[in-house]
Homo-oligomer: A and B are copies of this chain.
Amino acid sequence: MRTVTGGRGTEVLVSQRIARTDGPPPVSSEIVTAEKRVLRVLEFEVAAGTEIAFELYNVIYTSNDVADPHAACVADLQESAGKGYARLWTEHTRVWDGIWDRSRVEIDGDELAQTLIRYNIYHNVIATPAHTEHLPIGARGLSCQAYQGAAFWDQEIFNLPMFVYTRPDVARRILIYRYKTLDGARRKARRLGYYGAFYAWVSGDDGREICPSYFFIDVLTGRRIHNHFNDWQIHISPDVGYAVWHYYRVTGDTAFLRDYGAEILLEVSRFLVSHAYFKKDKDRYEFVRLLGPDEYHENVDNNFFTAYQAKYVLERTLESYDLLKEQAPERLSEIIQRIGLTEQTLALMHEMAEKVYVPHPDPETLLIEQFDGYFDMEDITPERLAERLLDSSEYWGWPNGIATETQVTKQADVVQQFMLHPESHSTAVMQANWDYYEPRTQHGSSLSPSVYAVVAAWIGYPQRAYDYFLRSATVDLFNTNKAVSGGTFIGGIHTAACGAAWQIVVHGFLGMRVDPAGELTLDPHLPEQWNGVRCTVTVAGTQLEVYAGPEGVTVGSLDSGQSPVTVRVRDEARQVAGGATEQFSY
């Protein structure tokens, strides 16, 4: 069997061996190929009532993992059969226990929620190629042809945070995948007239752009639609930069920053410099002709989310530049030389970090405009808007879908920024914008409900957060999201929603984050259905068990050999020493 991942031929070999454990041997054994099935037919001559038991060993190797999948299959089958079922089972459960020990989330008092969080964590785990630095997390897991096993921004923003906090080694490998695919991002930038790294909107194994320019068919005319996911949705690049820094902030892994992260950040920032326009009369940089997270509005200027991400990543790039200059000047020189970073571009990064225009909250309404002119567009609810559909499978967006000239958004956009930068705005600003944008959001993307859930938990809406948690965590269980959009089949497991479920509980309800000063902060606001939440996380190499209950928070360091961690619960900060446990009361 052959399948294709990311545009490159990948050989996938499935081998099987039957080890008879009990009963008579077969009188004949034959391989039969029937349509799409390959069958092994065994004939036995047995007396009535005879029991035959088999041990069936299946192994899968692909050319993504080993040079010779066939040899690997043969060797593994031999070794596995030698070990026997019982030992393999023990090894298997040991691996899974280890994963669960590190990723544990226990919800006390809500069996449904407990089942859902475990289901979602499981799918985020199995969709992630944890063993390799060469493959991304497929946006639809293993099961959807349309998404080709390739990565979107989903990977950095939705899948990865769980791994950053639970299995930083896995997060590191996924980010190294982004390092290894820098060349693809560089080629894409050059092709479109920029430089630096413009990451693929849909990124396969070698980082080339595999998002088609014609993704949808206009069901009303039968004509193809030229969407601009791949060329205008530039936030993918600062999103990768954001994830690099987020990983670094939570883990303190300076070796990663030196060997991989700094180069990614510099290349992303070079791209941002090459993309931005300067308005001389306004003395500011602008990003023009964008597609923000809300994909129904293409061709917009000064998208808040994109601008904020860009400014943030430019600042972090300069921070990492200074860090390397101090701690690893030779590596910095090597990067500068290889990527051709000029003094002029570096100066522009400094100027841009200061002068990128990021829309601010209106002083009266506290509202942030999603992009220039958004508030001037028709104000209508998604439900009323849907009445204008001529065909239920119409695409709502570009170029002339029903949502394009309205305030109806496909998914969180302004609120998405809050989720990534909880320290950036006051609760009042987050609340005002949540209240404004939420009724105008269609949730045409499975990413959207989780964003509203996380932020709802922070702004005093725990039950709205809970409702959105259920919605997000059941997207595949109840098959609530459309499997076809604009004529394209987009089904499969929504792995981003799986990763997001963990974020809703840990980032949202527990209010957990590592703040810019490096402190682990917690500010739990649980829904009334829950008595408490327990979870295991790893921060700066220290594994912690966190429990948030009705009276307060307990944080325990799981090993006395671990470094102390500063933990802040609401206004109280304490050091949690290696192996110690600290209790915080509300």
Contact = CB atoms under 8 A, between A and B. Distances in A.
Contacts of A337: none
A277 interface: yes
Sorted from nearest, which 10 A-B pairs have the closest CB atoms?
Answer: A399-B399, A277-B277, A278-B278, A220-B221, A399-B400, A278-B280, A280-B348, A288-B288, A274-B281, A273-B281
Contacts of A399: 398-400
A225 interface: yes
A348 B286 contact: no
Nearest to A223: B400
A222 B277 CA distance: 38
Interface residues of A, number: 28
Interface string A389-404: 0100000001110000
Contacts of A221: 220-221, 390, 400
A225 B405 CA distance: 11
A399 B372 CA distance: 20
A223 B405 CA distance: 12
A391 to B, nearest CB: 10
Contacts of A274: 281
Tally of this chain's copies: 2
Contacts of A479: none
Nearest to A277: B277
A312 B549 CA distance: 72
Nearest to A347: B280
Contacts of A220: 220-221
Contact of A345 (B281, B289, B400): B281
A118 to B, nearest CB: 46
A299 B289 CA distance: 9
Nearest to A193: B372
A226 interface: yes
Contacts of A222: 390
A279 B280 contact: no
B278 A279 contact: yes
A218 interface: yes
Contacts of A281: 273-274, 344-345, 348
Nearest to A352: B280
Contacts of A344: 281
Interface in A354-409: 372, 390, 398-400, 405
A394 to B, nearest CB: 9
Contacts of A348: 280-281
A20 to B, nearest CB: 63
7 contacts: A222-B390, A223-B400, A225-B400, A277-B278, A281-B348, A289-B299, A398-B399
